[in-house]
Chain A
Amino acid sequence: MNDFLSSLPLFSPFVEFAFMRRALAGCLALSLGATPIGVFLMLRRMSLAGDAMSHAILPGAAIGYLVAGLSLPAMTLGGLVAGLAVALLAGGVARNTVIKEDTSLATFYLLSLSAGVLIISLRGSSVDLLHVLFGSVLALDDPALLLLGAFASLSIVALALGLRLFVLEACDPSFLARISRLSPLAHYGFMVLLVLNLVAGFHALGTLMAVGIMILPAAAARLWVCNVGPLLLLASGTAFAGSLAGLLLSYHADLPAGPAIVLTLGATYLLSLAVGPLGPLASRWRSSWHFER
């Protein structure tokens, strides 16, 4: 059986190399945990906020690195603290001053990002910086994989419990505020989940590309379906299929894995734009068909 599988170019890398299997497992965790969060980022028109938050975790991870080297717990803890601090500060300033949410987030993430780069440059090299920014999906060890799995599980359970809350918060926030006391929980709970998944994603794909596995599959899936439930499933499926294809591409064409995965997901999005039933081309084609009839 193994011999047969190894003879197929689609399977052989995963049969032969443990690091490829680990990378695939890591991507599966991210597809199940981070991608649904990306769907809600998109639905709440916060896609760029996700990007900003991914930079915000950098100084925390950097301080963890400064204190303990490339240590998983230290960098994870640092990232979580920094991400949550920026989410709370940005949310607080936006709610209590004339500064709006987007500017508020931008100010804190810029502070955070520059502090992070500064801290890394104090000790370490540009290689370390590259590791933090672009991750190392092909070097996931057992603890890292466990962390990814744990965060994904936590995220799925939280999302399942709060699904109705998150849907209503995204769809009609003032209605939610009117009928339920849980409205602040919906916002801050979501931000916590976002930070959690960004920190998980940063171990695999780095801070720059962790958002890729959130937003790209979400946007691609949105061009195919118009109901939240199917959207979540399709986005996760797309994320995993895209990661698989990206890993294979990186293996066979000898390309860096992280960018290969994100680029594959990006290609899926472009393809969806071209042929998805809710894409611009399809609607044009359909309306001309409508008028001919």
Chain B
Amino acid sequence: MGARVSHFAHRRGAALLRFDNLTLGYNRHPAVHHLQGEIVSGSLLAIVGPNGAGKSTLLKAIAGELRPLQGSIDRGGLDRRQIAYLTQQATLDQTFPIVVHDFVAMGLWREIGAFLGLGRERRRRVHEAIERVGLHGLEKRPIGALSGGQLQRALFARVMLQDAPLVLLDEPYGAIDAASVRDLATLVRLWHDEGRTVIAVLHDLAHVRQEYPETLLLARELVARGETASVLTAANLQRARQLAEGHGDGTEAAICRVDRDAA
């Protein structure tokens, strides 16, 4: 797997995503205000912030599934299909009669499309991915018979096969046990080592401090961004909470920092 990803490893350090005055929201109600900055290729970035801070909204916009209300995201020519995006609530129908092997193999869609066969080499990669996430022996099990943690592992295996230069994870450890978190975090580290850019929305700050070199703290606007230790300070977190609450009661909702600065 390492050999195949070298083609995007060489771009490490160059800007992969550029936000310019990015404002996002639904039905004209902004949820993220005037975001400015860039994310370099090969980053391992955590997005943290209080509930309603716009973290998932930002991820959705990066994935190209939400048009900005204002400003823009430059994906540097990265196609939407080259982004592996694991959403918080999988839209997946878990009662669907499909076994783990076939489900995971869907990650190969970009290579085989709707018509090509799997072939022996890709079959081997499917098995490898299943083994990597610790689901070995469950290939023939229907996805409906998996536990929450096992399903999340299967979803990670599918992401792995997507072989994407940019991986977006929205609260990937929501309802799973510590052992699963540990295994899946190892996989995320591996993706990082392979030169992929990984951006994850996370709640567990201890986990972020331990695993993520960079953090973006969001509270409907950018609070802080940079090395994790310098971002996750008590002062910054306090400020993020205040901002979120301030926005929450509606009094400050219409005024953004950029607007205030301009005034």
Q: Which residues of A contact B (CB under 8 A)?
A: 43, 161-162, 164-165, 167-168, 170-175, 178-180, 182, 222, 225-228, 231
* B109 interface neighbour in A170, A174, A179, A231, Cβ under 8 Å: A179
Chain B nearest CB from A231 CB (Å) reads 6
- For chains A and B in complex, what number of residue pairs have CB atoms within 8 angstroms? 61
Identify the closest chain A residue to B141 (Cβ).
A226
Let me know if B93 and A180 touch, CB within 8 A: no
Let me know if B97 and A168 touch, CB within 8 A: no
A164 to B105, CA, bound (A): 11
Chain B nearest CB from A224 CB (Å) reads 11
Residues in B neighbouring A226, C-beta threshold 8 A: 97, 99, 142, 144
Let me know if A222 and B97 touch, CB within 8 A: yes
Let me know if A172 and B114 touch, CB within 8 A: no
Let me know if A175 and B106 touch, CB within 8 A: yes
Let me know if A170 and B114 touch, CB within 8 A: no
Residues in A neighbouring B142, C-beta threshold 8 A: 226-227
Q: Which 10 A-B pairs have the closest CB atoms?
A: A174-B91, A171-B96, A226-B142, A172-B92, A226-B97, A165-B114, A179-B109, A164-B114, A179-B81, A227-B97
A226 to B162, CA, bound (A): 25
Let me know if B91 and A173 touch, CB within 8 A: yes
Identify the closest chain B residue to A170 (Cβ).
B96
* A43 interface neighbour in B87, B97, B102, B115, Cβ under 8 Å: B97
The secondary-structure label for the interface of chain A is helix
Q: A170-B96, A227-B98 are in contact. List 12 more A-B contacts (CB 8 A).
A: A43-B93, A43-B96, A164-B114, A168-B106, A175-B91, A178-B81, A179-B109, A179-B110, A225-B97, A226-B144, A228-B98, A228-B102
Identify the closest chain B residue to A278 (Cβ).
B97
Residues in B neighbouring A180, C-beta threshold 8 A: 81, 109, 113-114
Residues in B neighbouring A172, C-beta threshold 8 A: 90-93, 96, 106
Residues in A neighbouring B87, C-beta threshold 8 A: 174
A173 to B93, CA, bound (A): 9
Identify the closest chain A residue to B93 (Cβ).
A171
Is the C-beta of B63 less than 8 angstroms from some C-beta in chain A? Answer: yes
Residues in B neighbouring A173, C-beta threshold 8 A: 91
Q: Which residues of B contact A (CB under 8 A)?
A: 63, 65, 80-81, 83, 85, 87, 90-93, 96-99, 102-103, 106, 109-110, 113-115, 142, 144, 162
A228 to B102, CA, bound (A): 10
Residues in B neighbouring A171, C-beta threshold 8 A: 92-93, 96, 98, 103
Residues in A neighbouring B115, C-beta threshold 8 A: 161, 164
* B114 interface neighbour in A43, A162, A178, A227, Cβ under 8 Å: A162
Residues in B neighbouring A161, C-beta threshold 8 A: 114-115
Let me know if A227 and B91 touch, CB within 8 A: no
8 A-B residue pairs with CB within 8 Å: A164-B114, A164-B115, A171-B92, A171-B98, A172-B90, A174-B87, A175-B91, A178-B83
Identify the closest chain A residue to B140 (Cβ).
A227
Of A164, A180, A182, most B-chain CB atoms within 10 Å = A164
Residues in A neighbouring B96, C-beta threshold 8 A: 43, 170-172
* B93 interface neighbour in A165, A170, A178, Cβ under 8 Å: A170
Chain A nearest CB from B130 CB (Å) reads 16
Let me know if A227 and B99 touch, CB within 8 A: yes
A170 to B91, CA, bound (A): 11
Let me know if A228 and B91 touch, CB within 8 A: no
Identify the closest chain B residue to A173 (Cβ).
B91
Residues in B neighbouring A170, C-beta threshold 8 A: 93, 96
A39 to B184, CA, bound (A): 35
